[in-house]
Structure 1
């Protein structure tokens, strides 16, 4: 029996949200703005503003590190892939696990020993100021465009679900991101990440439980049985994809994650924990989360394949209706108000990723361009003010780009920009991955390698992409590859062509990058003594454990972070508990009790710890 106000979504009707859902989303946006204001006084210099002074506990930095590697894509893009291709997306989700094992076992401590404020400063130490400027002027614009794409994508989806205009959603979400990053810096970014992780995981857990509880699904056993009967290839991938294509796709994605998560660029979050012990603990959160999260995220869209064979009838506003698979099931099984919290979780998964990126690349611009080029003698106070001004400017630029991209998203300009972004990401990461572990290359090896990789990646995305679309593509391949793909007459499916394109782009880019980067070793002997001394000094730091520095107190103390974060969790947890008053049945009220109790309970624990730490005095930091 459905409780009052609990409406099922019919497969032939466009789903809608209740007034409660809209109010919950509005309160959530206000809450995020408050988070930024609460932490506005904690940054006294750029080290505080960009990395929390390198004094954060492992659990809060680990939370942010996990959220930084996924976004609303887990609920939208990944759900679409599950709806269309079943468990194929698990290759993407679990590709990061081997990389995170490497981070946990080795790289995390090396990251912390860099002792820099931004990752670009580590690029300067390894490759010199010329490479630092190259990366700054290439990477920052790319990240602004990427953020514009991300903001536009989540806004288009949210607008379709909320039945509002796309541009107003872009502006509201963009302003929220900017205010949080501007007012609170890295402190606000980490705090909002922690609250939003609690929200994301509790809501996701409920979505899974309520989905399996639906009589039409029949529990996990019923879901598997029905999929075996109606969509067997969703569970047995080898029936829809050739094993060779799956293997190439899996190896390519694991290679991407291995390079990305162990490169200098990924060190940002690992510059924040207060010592090496915390740095070693930190990656366990994204590692465990990366193992557990995907199992939860795939269940609702798998159920959608049974409950909604035609999602186009449910979400006619979406260009790709399959992207609504997760939300369609949630609208069916969740009580009134809880879908609003789900939308908040989706917003949070994206906003935390974006405000961290804004903070990260403002730091790169200020510390690697403004300070060394425009104002070498600027004081920390001046740099902090410039950082806040740049945050506002970057936020405005991202909003403008998102609106512009939305205007042209159905034209060739959108496709061109998207391909351009794909072609640049990996090439720029390859040299700062190799250079973090291997020292005997000249400073120019990074930008030369990046340009070489870019050349191959551009060829793959603009030339090979057309070749793989031809019906006779397999016939033109070497005989041994034809044998793996089923012979010269084999025709690849659309999904297989996409996987082959990605595998060739990634593996070819890595091959070119490896040859060029390590080939530059022959010129290392010609480098000057100053350059060699700089590189040796960096690698000496990586071998030298962190040493304690004098204890410091003040607003940015650890106790203060615990207290403020505890209070924020208590406030938002109390708000969610108040939602138990919405006219739902027992199950619906218990759902809000679970979410609000989890967030509020975490807040109570943090606040109690803050009182104990306040009595014990400030803990020593590290250099």
Structure 2
């Protein structure tokens, strides 16, 4: 990098902080901070949903997969995500929106107290929080790895710089700041990705390289599945990502909750699905061509894209592409921080402290910001250990730990929204969660199924989710735990009674207040309901 690249990078950081400060004016309470008050346009929500779904791991870990195996990087990663979000646009997006628009909650997990019980909500909240700290730590390490290639900064210096900048804008501006910076980041990434695509095509013979390059690439580079990324892995990944990217990891759920109504949430999801189908092709093509242009230095080839960028792009454009790396990581990490802060302040803190149940609007907002800072600090501390023997490398954390552990957390949360599973109560939820986590531990550590001394990757990520899914359904069938209050709650979430549920009266849809912390049905920082009825679930 030279001075021109540094100017581009510093200007980018300045714009991100400026957007955060501007967004501060739009945040009056916790509803604005966590769900944009339900005022986010569907197209902004869709772009934000897409941008918050991947990070610099795309340009390190997945670049290594593309360098080594080729087209399978798209077929077994981006394609199943696009399909999963497309399915979820009708199945989950409108229901998640109704959590806010009809139940008036600010955290995705708030409804779990009434859907199951307090123990279930806390189990899912704590386990998800710990997993997200590790997940975001891996993403800080990924962007710091790229920064070190270009600038020579140490890993810890890179983590500190990116973490502090992200912390400023997402703490000040909440979800509005996240979404608006993600819009800006999308525009930057659009130019950066196209610049890299043009540079690679120019190096390999022009536009015709799109179809002539395949004969020059290593054998099998055009195969849909290769190496450990088999058809079984593809099907398992599709199933996992359908839950994760439709709200199972919470930050995407917030994007659906932030739109005005269920229909807008569906449109948001469809836009995100289209972006996942099209845009990664632009990013991946240079990575597929990388073996013809550079020789990776790292064993996992995670440095291949950075080396290619450094070799092909002039100064200025180099800085723009580096900004593109930052944009994805900061988008995902800030959205995760906001989601975790929502879960902590709305779901965990009220069970730990009686004072938290009576927080004023101002105190609730302050707690949200402090929680965001705390989460970012913990994840940055974890990032310094992400290449330790425990975690092995960045891609191990993202694929094995996150994909493998997400299922047991997401199954009770996501399927709890659907009426066909209404008989699966607290016993089914807690058992499926606990034994799913146990299954992850067994297939990743004590059990050896092949001569290489480890379980095949597709089973590492799919077995925990499969165990949780089967137990959740079977226990719900053998030990049904139905209740009138649960049926009322599901009626609201599923929009029954005409359109978005307007045919149901506020009184008939009231959820028992005693299930809420403090006994009055209110959460820290809730605004007074302006609709008919009373309490945070009246419409």
TM bucket normalised to smaller: 0.7 to 0.9
Kindly indicate whether the alpha-carbon contact (under 8 Å) linking 1:252 and 1:502 is maintained by their aligned counterparts in 2: no
1:280 and 1:301 map into 2 onto residues whose CA distance is 32
CA drift of 1:402 comes to: 2.3
Q: Secondary structure at the match of 1:233?
A: coil
Kindly indicate whether the alpha-carbon contact (under 8 Å) linking 2:185 and 2:327 is maintained by their aligned counterparts in 1: yes
CA drift of 1:546 comes to: 4.5
2:215 paired residue number: 228
CA drift of 1:415 comes to: 6.9
2:53 paired residue number: 69
1:578 paired residue number: none
Residue 164 (structure 2) pairs with residue 175 (structure 1): yes
2:501 and 2:168 map into 1 onto residues whose CA distance is 35
**Bigger helix share:** 1
1:299-326 deviation per Cα after TM superposition (whole angstroms, max 9, x unaligned): 1122221122x232xxxxxx44722322
Residue 224 (structure 2) pairs with residue 253 (structure 1): no
CA drift of 1:88 comes to: 1.3
Pairing partner for 1:185 from 174, 179, 184: 174
1:251-282 deviation per Cα after TM superposition (whole angstroms, max 9, x unaligned): 11111112323455442210000123322221
Tell which deviates more after alignment, 22-31 or 180-189: 22-31
Change (3 A) 1:311 1:197: same
Pairing partner for 1:467 from 424, 428, 449: 449
Equivalent residues in 2 for 1:420-431, closer than 5 Å? 423-431=404-412
Tell which deviates more after alignment, 138-147 or 41-50: 138-147
Q: Secondary structure at the match of 1:164?
A: coil
2:361 and 2:326 map into 1 onto residues whose CA distance is 34
Change (3 A) 1:246 1:401: closer
Equivalent residues in 2 for 1:26-175, closer than 5 Å? 26-90=10-74, 91-115=76-100, 116-175=105-164
What TM-score do you get using the length of structure 1 for normalisation? Answer: 0.73
Q: Secondary structure at the match of 2:446?
A: helix
2:424 paired residue number: 441
Pairing partner for 2:389 from 391, 411, 431: 411
1:415 and 1:326 map into 2 onto residues whose CA distance is 17
Provide the aligned length of Structure 1 versus Structure 2. Answer: 487
2:408 and 2:306 map into 1 onto residues whose CA distance is 35
Kindly indicate whether the alpha-carbon contact (under 8 Å) linking 1:300 and 1:330 is maintained by their aligned counterparts in 2: no
CA drift of 1:412 comes to: 4.0
1:398 paired residue number: 379
CA drift of 1:120 comes to: 0.9
Structure 2 residue ranges without an equivalent (≥5)? 503-537
Residue 279 (structure 2) pairs with residue 300 (structure 1): no
Pairing partner for 1:387 from 360, 364, 368: 368
1:439 and 1:185 map into 2 onto residues whose CA distance is 33
1:579 paired residue number: none
2:182 and 2:472 map into 1 onto residues whose CA distance is 36
1:436-455 deviation per Cα after TM superposition (whole angstroms, max 9, x unaligned): 22111122321210111111
1:274 paired residue number: 260
1:554 paired residue number: none
Pairing partner for 2:273 from 280, 287, 297: 287
2:505 paired residue number: none
1:420 and 1:223 map into 2 onto residues whose CA distance is 35
Q: Secondary structure at the match of 1:95?
A: helix
2:128 and 2:223 map into 1 onto residues whose CA distance is 40
Q: Secondary structure at the match of 2:106?
A: coil
2:93 and 2:324 map into 1 onto residues whose CA distance is 28
Q: Secondary structure at the match of 2:144?
A: helix
1:543 and 1:287 map into 2 onto residues whose CA distance is 22
CA drift of 1:422 comes to: 5.5
1:217-260 deviation per Cα after TM superposition (whole angstroms, max 9, x unaligned): 0135346434314413101357x559xx7221211111111232
CA drift of 1:392 comes to: 2.2
Kindly indicate whether the alpha-carbon contact (under 8 Å) linking 1:211 and 1:330 is maintained by their aligned counterparts in 2: no
Kindly indicate whether the alpha-carbon contact (under 8 Å) linking 2:56 and 2:139 is maintained by their aligned counterparts in 1: no
CA drift of 1:41 comes to: 2.5
2:239 and 2:325 map into 1 onto residues whose CA distance is 28
Change (3 A) 1:206 1:468: same
Change (3 A) 1:39 1:448: same
2:334 and 2:152 map into 1 onto residues whose CA distance is 25
1:392 and 1:262 map into 2 onto residues whose CA distance is 25
Across the aligned residues of Structure 1 and Structure 2, the Cα RMSD in angstroms comes to: 2.6
1:619 paired residue number: none
Q: Secondary structure at the match of 1:219?
A: coil
Kindly indicate whether the alpha-carbon contact (under 8 Å) linking 1:154 and 1:347 is maintained by their aligned counterparts in 2: yes
Mark the structure with the bigger radius of gyration: 1
1:320 and 1:223 map into 2 onto residues whose CA distance is 27
CA drift of 1:400 comes to: 2.6
1:188 and 1:304 map into 2 onto residues whose CA distance is 35
2:188 paired residue number: 199
1:388-432 deviation per Cα after TM superposition (whole angstroms, max 9, x unaligned): 2222222222223323x15xx243465799466554222212222
Change (3 A) 1:396 1:226: closer
1:378 paired residue number: 359
Q: Secondary structure at the match of 1:121?
A: coil
2:402 and 2:241 map into 1 onto residues whose CA distance is 17
1:332-372 deviation per Cα after TM superposition (whole angstroms, max 9, x unaligned): 33232011011111101000100111011101000012235
1:532 paired residue number: 483
1:25 paired residue number: 9
1:202 and 1:232 map into 2 onto residues whose CA distance is 31
Change (3 A) 1:507 1:165: closer
Residue 337 (structure 2) pairs with residue 355 (structure 1): no
What TM-score do you get using the length of structure 2 for normalisation? Answer: 0.84
1:349 and 1:413 map into 2 onto residues whose CA distance is 22
Q: Secondary structure at the match of 1:94?
A: helix
Change (3 A) 1:19 1:321: farther
Structure 1 residue ranges without an equivalent (≥5)? 1-16, 313-318, 474-496, 549-621
2:402 and 2:57 map into 1 onto residues whose CA distance is 17
Kindly indicate whether the alpha-carbon contact (under 8 Å) linking 1:58 and 1:281 is maintained by their aligned counterparts in 2: yes
Q: Point out 4+ residue stretches in structure 1 off by more than 6 angstroms.
A: none
Kindly indicate whether the alpha-carbon contact (under 8 Å) linking 1:181 and 1:359 is maintained by their aligned counterparts in 2: yes
Tell which deviates more after alignment, 160-169 or 195-204: 160-169
2:528 paired residue number: none
